[in-house]
Amino acid sequence: MADVALSKSGAPMRGLLFARRGRNRLDVTDWLTYGFLVLGLLIMFTPVAWVVLSSFKTQANLQEFPPSILPYSSETAVVEGFDQPLPLFDVTLKDGTKARLAQIRRVGRNAQMINPDNPGAGRVTVAVTDAVPVRKVRLATENYTNLVASSGQAMGRYVYNSLFITTVATIITLVMNSMAAFALSKYRFAGSNVALISILSTLMIPATVVLVPTYLIVAELGLVGNLWGVILPTVATPTGVFLLRQYMLTIPDELIEAARMDHASEWRIFFRIVLPLSSPALAVVAIFSILSRWNDFLLPLIVLNRREVYTLQLALNSFQSEFEVRYDLMLAMTTLTALPLACAFIFLQRYITTGIASTGIK
Amino acid sequence: MTGLQKILGIRRMPWVFLLPNLLAVLFFSLLPVAINVFYSVTGSDRLYPSERPFIGSGNYETLFDCTNYLDASTCSSDLFWRAVGNSLVFVPIQVICMIGVALLAAVCLNREIRGRGFFRAVFFFPVMLSPVVVALTWQWILQRNGALNGILTWLGLSPVNWLVFPNTAFFWSVFVTVWAHMGFYTIILLAGLQSIPRDVYEAAKMDSATNWRVFTRITLPLLKPVLLVVFVLCVIRSVQTFDELYVLTGGGPGSATMLIVQYIYEVGFAVQPRNFGLAAAASLLLGVVLLIFTGLQLRLSRNSQHG
């Protein structure tokens, strides 16, 4: 902006960073801007961070209220004569001295404790109020290993189903949409307008409105409970055709004419010339497709009616109703489901935001 | 393909390229609309059209069978009217909040501030998350022993069962859906802001116009076409809200946060016997309303371009 240019005098770097309205300080609107953005940062980011952090808490730690910010777990000690490791407590004894004891069991307001270093000294009865559990910050990675262990092969299957749907649907979408876009941008033929309009008119049809008949067609094709039943209804996206067509219109026709002179077939022209030149637009369509296929919920919910064909999203949803108490597993699974796209986002962030910006506006 | 070209000739090649997409559009978009019309005038719980008896406007009559339209409980399909009522409150509130916050964010991100790219990414981040993850994340925060109640207790207030009371559940439905989707609209509005020529602002600065004046007299009018696009997209998607709320509240407590799409899902697929006809009728009504709305918007934007 112009106000940057006004602060050329003085320290250049500082001027560049803080220049506002020609004065070297932030004015009210800047403070408001930063205030809003930092508030936004907190509201947008902390919930997700909180879930990820919580997914590393032990079950006991998860049930605490008020919740602790960092994942803690109680320290335990293996004491001679006991099969299980016993939880450690810092205890204030009756004579005022402090000691670190292991708890054997709790009876009402009292607990039976034992000195882990000297089990032979016998049991001590301590009031619960005098004992504080010994805790340390520890990531309970067993939530993740338990999750994989408890669901076993099913987990791998959910990941596979989600990956399969996302990859196959995206590839078909790209091929189909770019072929149609090629026909609609590089040829003049009778009916091309009708074809374009009928494809774009589907923009007006919300997927939820045609839910029941889509299910019928999928059922007629014998694809209920089959991954292809979710892939096929979603592959022809009008926005993809529109976007690719707009992009292909900018590719000079002379290139194609020249290729025809060299006796290249139309298929070859499409594959070797038009497709590579459209790669930026293809990337945007691909990102959109990956995003929506990975996150799809309603259509899979209806079509994929057996556990073996569940996607990660469906598995996660059924998880929350089945294991309402197993928050440790659920949080781990939530984190795992969000992870692939979060990683993709970190790398593709710039591309996605500019890509959406350029497609949002006609 | 090369062989195909020899047989068909170059004139027919565009149809070869179009065919797969046209078939998919026909089978999974256009044909379903026609079938939906058929479903909506037939009854019984059978899926296959040949097994469904014609009942004319029966499904629509069931939907509209009310003794008093202002009171959902007097309707024979009271859940439908509750869902309609909820949507009528949810959509305007959600759209206003969404556009307001997204516009504010876009204006902030359009300024020459430090860490702009970072903040842009932060606001867009939730758009990437799946609705189920979004819903479970907020459920984890809003539950009785959740982080929000933890903060309340720390402040000396008493914890609240956020998703148990209709009003607070409704508030959080709006909040969570705005949280999840505002980044998308922010990015579109940001692109719109950046397409406004800089010299317009320079001129305003020469006349030492206040920030507020610049915003209301220059930014908003020039942003109007983009705002209209965002508005329409936002309304259409808001009416279709399903995933987040289905997982977050399940439409509850009671039916306080059940919107139209969830009604369609419940009637057509979740509740036995499945009533495909009623679901189809309800979804056609939804489609017609959306169509009228988009048509109005097209006319509006055309008028604003001429005026």
SS3 state at A126: strand
SS3 state at A282: helix
Contacts of B284 in chain A (CB under 8 A): 209
Question: With contact defined as beta carbons under 8 Å apart, do A147 and A155 qualify?
Answer: yes
Tokens 């017609």, residue located = B288
Contacts of B120 in chain A (CB under 8 A): 353
Instruction: Tell how far CA A23 is from the center of its chain.
Output: 43
Residue A166 contacts B, CB cutoff 8 Å: no
Contacts of B229 in chain A (CB under 8 A): 360-362
Measure the CA angle with vertex B221, ends B187 and B106; round to 5°: 20
Give the model's pLDDT for residue A6: 38
Question: With contact defined as beta carbons under 8 Å apart, do A327 and A59 qualify?
Answer: yes
pLDDT at B74 over 60: yes
DSSP string, B139-188: HHHHSTTSHHHHHHHHTTPPP--TTTSHHHHHHHHHHHHHHHHHHHHHHH
Measure the CA angle with vertex A232, ends A226 and A235; round to 5°: 145
Mean pLDDT computed over A5-9: 39
For A:321-360, CB contacts with B below 8 A are 327, 330-331, 334, 337-338, 341-342, 344-345, 349-350, 352-353, 356-358, 360
pLDDT at B113 over 60: yes
Give the model's pLDDT for residue B180: 94
pLDDT at B64 over 60: yes
Q: What is the DSSP letter of A203?
A: G
Helix locations, A125-191, DSSP H: 142-151, 153-186
pLDDT at B119 over 70: yes
Mean pLDDT computed over B66-87: 83
Contacts of A230 in chain B (CB under 8 A): none
* CA-wise closest residue to B190 among B256, B254, B116, B265: B116
Give the model's pLDDT for residue B213: 85
**Residues A265-321: tens digit of each pLDDT:** 888 899 999 999 988 888 888 888 988 899 899 899 999 988 889 999 998 888 877
- Residue A199: how many CB atoms within 10 A of its CB? 27
- Residue B160: how many CB atoms within 10 A of its CB? 14
How far does the CA of residue A336 sit from the closest CA of chain B (Å)? 10
Token pair belonging to A284: 């945007």
pLDDT band at A356 (very low <50, low <70, confident <90, very high): low
**Residues A215-255: tens digit of each pLDDT:** 999 999 999 999 999 999 999 888 889 889 988 988 899 99
**Residues A30-45: tens digit of each pLDDT:** 888 889 999 999 999 8
SS3 state at B241: coil
CA distance B145 to A63: 7
Give the model's pLDDT for residue A3: 39
Residue A212 contacts B, CB cutoff 8 Å: yes
**Residues A78-122: tens digit of each pLDDT:** 777 777 777 788 887 777 777 788 888 777 778 888 887 777 777
pLDDT band at A165 (very low <50, low <70, confident <90, very high): very high
B112, A4: Cβ pair inside 8 Å? yes
pLDDT at B62 over 90: no
Rounded alpha-carbon distances, angstroms, from residue A110 to A77, A118, A119, A327: 20, 21, 19, 30
B268, A204: Cβ pair inside 8 Å? no
Give the model's pLDDT for residue A9: 40
A29, B211: Cβ pair inside 8 Å? yes
How far does the CA of residue B67 sit from the closest CA of chain A (Å)? 27
Question: With contact defined as beta carbons under 8 Å apart, do B188 and B177 qualify?
Answer: no
**Residues B255-306: tens digit of each pLDDT:** 899 999 999 999 888 888 888 889 999 999 998 988 888 888 878 777 766 5
B191, A358: Cβ pair inside 8 Å? yes
CA distance A15 to A362: 38
pLDDT at B193 over 80: yes
- Tell me the backbone φ, ψ of residue A125, rounded to 5 degrees: -100, 125
DSSP-derived pairing of the beta strands A131-133 and A86-92: antiparallel
Rounded alpha-carbon distances, angstroms, from residue A324 to A146, A166, A327, B175: 16, 29, 7, 24
For A:71-100, CB contacts with B below 8 A are none
Residue A241 contacts B, CB cutoff 8 Å: yes
Handedness of CA A297, A301, A302, A306 (dihedral sign): positive
Question: With contact defined as beta carbons under 8 Å apart, do A238 and A203 qualify?
Answer: yes
Chain A interface test: which of B130, B144, B185, B231 (most A C-beta within 10 Å): B130
Helical pair A327-360 and A28-54, crossing angle rounded to 10 deg: 140
How does the average pLDDT of chain A come out, rounded? 81
pLDDT at A181 over 90: yes
Predicted complex: ipTM over 0.95: no
SS3 state at A52: helix
